[in-house]
Amino acid sequence: MSKKLFIVGGLLVALLLAGVVSSFASGSPDGLDYAAREGCTVNAEGEITGGTCMAQQEGEHQLGDSPLADYGIKGINNEYLSTGLSGILGVLVTFGIGGGLFWLLRRRSSTPAP
């Protein structure tokens, strides 16, 4: 199997996972959020109503109003489409940066090819 086919296949799998499977991710707090809320009481909407925990010290993120904040694309009202497109865009940007760095840092032969 050629290198190009392997890279394209990997990129397609990553795009499929980011675009489709990401919509099925859990909306429940992850381990860090769970640990940060230890010791607090939380209401049905997930808002802290009492107790003492690390999460009470959290503030707004500096990039909270950016176009790709909260795992979606601002302006797209369909949550599944917004999340999927955000994932696809993230994969393409990461692949582009990684591919660009590999291209820039690749070993170059000091002797010309025949």
Residue with tokens 């925990």: 53
Q: Please report the pLDDT score of residue 58 as a whole number.
A: 82
- Domain contains 113: no
- Domain contains 64: yes
Q: How many domains are contained in the chain?
A: 1
pTM: 0.69
If the chain, 114 residues long, is cut into consecutive pieces of 10 residues, what is the mean pLDDT of each piece? 90 94 77 88 88 87 83 89 92 94 82 62
DSSP string, the chain: --HHHHHHHHHHHHHHHHHTGGGGS--S--HHHHHHTTTEEE-TTS-EEEE--GGGG----TTTTSTTGGGS-TT---HHHHHHHHHHHHHHHHHHHHHHHHHHH----SS---
- Domain contains 14: yes
- Domain contains 86: yes
Q: Which domain holds residue 47?
A: 3-105
Gap between the Cα atoms of 64 and 30, Å rounded: 19
- Domain contains 88: yes
Q: Which residues pair with 40 in a beta bridge?
A: 51
- Domain contains 114: no
Q: Please report the pLDDT score of residue 109 as a whole number.
A: 67
Q: Please report the pLDDT score of residue 15 as a whole number.
A: 95
- Domain contains 110: no
Q: Please report the pLDDT score of residue 39 as a whole number.
A: 92
